[in-house]
Amino acid sequence: MQPDDPRRQRILAVVDSIPPGRVATYGQVAGEAGLPGRARLVGRVLGELAGASELPWHRVVSASGRISTRPGAGPQEQGRRLRAEGVPVLHGRLDLRRHLWQAGQD
């Protein structure tokens, strides 16, 4: 996946549009990016950011309302950032009903 791959560009643009205090699922981001059914691709792209980004990558969670596990301190950091903007995270979980981003509604 090249840095200038249009799919990657669209995915990052969608992530960048998620407002503070709200979260989006991997599948939701994929759909908004014009890549329905490619949730894994979203996770893959975010993984390549490796924190070296200003993008709100922490606002992307799984469809089950959980912070996806991964090696390292990523998950903990994600929970920390979400709580910092008003999204309660308990045991790696949060209430999607309450914080899911309604695309195209800001």
Partner DNA sequence: TATATGACGACGA
Partner DNA sequence: ATCGTCGCCATAT
The residues of the shown chain that bind DNA, judged by CB under 7 A, are 1-2, 25-28, 37-44, 46-47, 49, 51, 57-58, 60, 62-64, 68-71, 74, 78
Cα distances (angstroms) measured from residue 27 to each of 10, 16, 80, 84, 90: 14, 15, 23, 24, 22
Report the sign of the C-alpha dihedral through residues 4, 10, 14, 17, in that order: positive
Least distance (Å) from DNA to the CB of residue 19? 17
Measured from the CB atom, the residue of 64 and 105 that comes closer to DNA is 64
In the chain, the amino acid numbered 29 is: V
Least distance (Å) from DNA to the CB of residue 86? 19
Least distance (Å) from DNA to the CB of residue 39? 3
Which of 55, 69, 67, 70 is closest to 11 using CA atoms? Answer: 55
Measured from the CB atom, the residue of 52 and 104 that comes closer to DNA is 52
